[in-house]
Structure 1
Amino acid sequence: MAPSPDLSSLSLAEIVRAMEEQKLPPVSQWNPSHCGDSEMRIARDGTWYHQGSPIGRLAMVRLFSTILRREPDGRHVLVTPVEKLDIAVEDAPFVATVLKIEGEGRDGRLVFQLNTGDLVAAGPDHGLRFEEGEDGPRPYLHVRDGLEALIARPVYYELAERALAGGDSTPGVWSNGAFFPLTAAEPA
């Protein structure tokens, strides 16, 4: 597995190329029988654990993250063509740890790097949402197929600074032609 790119040194064209090279297994097409529990969990801070011990090798975490799937009932599983195992997720399975911003206003683009090294550009297919938590706003980025990344607090502050400087009637950010207000959605 290739090392994670340094977002700050990449141009927008290089980021797009790196995102296009991210190939994932077709986990949505795999439907094996449920086999049990993986004895793994993902902590709120994005640390992956197996049998209570942190998984120290980023390459292993990245590999497991590629076979992670969210089931229709909200459970998270690790899935291969022949087995499906539960995995406990305390909040979101990923954490957005780095933000690269290019452009201004409606022409802006926000690219996030996850704790797994993956790159995700916010936009119509990768929305941002915000919840109010006991510890303040909790921002999330849609990664894929119902999987989300909790946006790390320093990255959220970058978003908030951009939103407040944007001059929109509702504080928010633009990315890939989509506007994301920095307010928690009203309960349904």
Structure 2
Amino acid sequence: MTHDPNGAPPGGVLERLTAALRADDPAGAEGARRGPPPVERWNPDYCGEIPMRIAADGTWHYNGTPIGRPALVKLFASILRRDPDGRTVLVTPVERVGIEVEDAAFLAVEMAVEGEGEGRSIAFRTNVDDVVPLDTDHPLRFERDGEGGFKPYLAVRHGLWALVSRALVYDLVDLCEEREVAGARWFGLAAGGRFHRIMPAAALS
């Protein structure tokens, strides 16, 4: 099978997905849309998996080859969701296909901060240019990494999460503090009207 030297995947199922989006939005799949695709309302039959993978570093691959066109990656990211069974799928009004996600669907690569304490506002930009505020609808969760540290993830949309890049982790740590919560000391981050608990303070020693 041959591949476009610019990183565009070959035809077939991806061509059908793109065509379905153009039919749904006459403005064009890679042009300006009236708004984000309403993937939460689309429930076509599941058509199986395709050889697409989102690597841990956020790179999208098709048949083992990186997709080098940012507009195409953003297109597919716009129709991505996580189904209740845990499967990550690309979905259009007529087709739903599963893909592999090594870690998180997105990366948070930029952060803007204003204010202090619970009144602090934080917003993130992802690698596909979603701008996501840290708030009740878009909380942080934390997981331990293999080195004993922690990996923050930000809720983005449709059950999908963004891994906060390592460079931003250091910026987040600078904003963290210890607080007593329900009788226990916690290390965490105050923002978006709440205290985001990361780990028990005792685990820092």
Residue by residue over 1:48-89, the C-alpha shift from the partner in whole angstroms, topping out at 9 and shown as x without a partner, is 001111111111111100100101111100000000111100
RMSD across aligned positions (CA) = 1.8
Which runs of no fewer than 5 residues in structure 1 stay unpaired?
A: 1-20
SS at match of 2:129: coil
**CA contact 1:131–1:183 (8 Å) conserved in 2:** no
Moved over 4 A (4+): none
Residue by residue over 1:21-57, the C-alpha shift from the partner in whole angstroms, topping out at 9 and shown as x without a partner, is 9932111111111122221110011110011111111
Query: Aligned to 1:171, which of 163, 171, 187?
Result: 187
**Alignment match, 1:106:** 118
**Aligned positions, number:** 162
Q: Which moved more, 1:91-100 or 1:29-38?
A: 29-38
**Alignment match, 2:4:** none
Taking the TM superposition and a 5 Å limit, the aligned residue runs for 1:29-48 are 29-48=41-60
**Alignment match, 1:148:** 161
Take 1:133 and 1:38, find their aligned partners in 2: how far apart are those partners? Answer: 29
Identity within the alignment, %: 48
Take 2:106 and 2:114, find their aligned partners in 1: how far apart are those partners? Answer: 23
Taking the TM superposition and a 5 Å limit, the aligned residue runs for 1:29-178 are 29-135=41-147, 136-164=149-177, 168-169=179-180, 170-178=186-194
**Alignment match, 1:5:** none
Residue by residue over 1:147-181, the C-alpha shift from the partner in whole angstroms, topping out at 9 and shown as x without a partner, is 100111111111111104xx644332222212212
TM-score between both structures, scaled by the size of structure 1: 0.81
Query: Which structure has the higher relative contact order (CA within 8 Å, separation 6+)?
Result: 1
Take 2:143 and 2:91, find their aligned partners in 1: how far apart are those partners? Answer: 29
The one-letter amino acid paired with 1:138 is K
The structure with the largest alpha-carbon Rg is 2
SS at match of 1:171: strand
Take 1:174 and 1:59, find their aligned partners in 2: how far apart are those partners? Answer: 35
TM-score between both structures, scaled by the size of structure 2: 0.74
SS at match of 2:58: coil
Which runs of no fewer than 5 residues in structure 2 stay unpaired?
A: 1-32, 181-185, 201-205
